[in-house]
């Protein structure tokens, strides 16, 4: 199976300058960095309204957010399911807004959300300050590496 087939990407609407291939490159790059190459991930890029709806329905948080990771866990797994980590939902609107505030590119911020979500699927936790620091450091190393490589 080719690596690109390990990531399924869906968009709520087209995003100028962002292709499914680019999203796959970020997620696969994160998996490779974490030595988890043969894992499968779903990614859904949407807007603030939809991520708010998802956040409220599934996590009981009545607010929009930047990224949500839904870790897949099951007891009776088929061969195909064993390699499935879960789904990432990212808000394109939030990425655009934050990128503008931080004076960075939209794609860098969106990459940050995809990396962050993938790290959550791999078991990283950011609830405790110590864990948050570890996860943030790892995330930024990966974002820097992937975004620098994408510029070449």
C-alpha 61: how far from its chain's center? 19
Q: What is the pLDDT along the chain (152 residues), one digit of tens a residue?
A: 456 678 999 999 999 999 999 999 999 999 999 998 888 899 999 999 999 999 999 999 999 999 999 987 665 556 666 788 999 999 999 999 999 999 999 999 999 999 999 999 999 999 999 999 999 999 999 999 998 765 54
Residue that is written with structure tokens 């990531």 in the block: 7
Ramachandran sector of residue 64 (left: φ over 0; alpha: ψ -120 to 50; beta: rest): beta
Q: How many CB atoms lie within 10 A of CB 92?
A: 22
24 in Cβ contact with 118 (< 8 Å): no
38 in Cβ contact with 6 (< 8 Å): yes
Q: What does pTM read for this prediction? A: 0.91
Whole domain around residue 139: which residue ranges? 3-151
Q: What is the CATH number of the domain that holds 80?
A: 3.40.390.30
How far is the C-alpha of 53 from the C-alpha of 62, rounded, in Å?
8
Q: Residue 27: in which H helix or E strand, if any?
A: helix 20-33
C-alpha 67: how far from its chain's center? 7
Q: How many domains does the chain have?
A: 1
89 in Cβ contact with 46 (< 8 Å): yes
């Amino acid at each position: 199976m080719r690596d690109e087939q390990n990531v399924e990407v869906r968009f709520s609407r087209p995003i100028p300058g962002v292709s499914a291939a680019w999203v796959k490159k970020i997620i696969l790059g994160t998996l490779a960095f974490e030595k988890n190459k043969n894992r499968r991930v779903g990614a859904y890029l949407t807007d603030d309204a939809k991520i708010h709806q998802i956040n409220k329905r599934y996590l009981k948080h009545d607010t929009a957010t930047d990224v949500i990771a839904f870790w897949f866990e099951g007891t009776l797994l088929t061969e195909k399911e064993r390699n499935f980590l879960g789904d990432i939902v990212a808000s394109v609107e939030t990425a655009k807004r934050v990128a503008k505030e931080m004076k960075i590119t939209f794609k860098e911020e969106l990459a940050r959300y995809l990396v962050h979500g993938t790290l959550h699927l791999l078991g990283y936790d950011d609830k405790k300050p110590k864990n948050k620091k570890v996860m943030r450091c790892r995330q930024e190393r990966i974002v820097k590496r992937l975004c620098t490589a994408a510029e070449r």
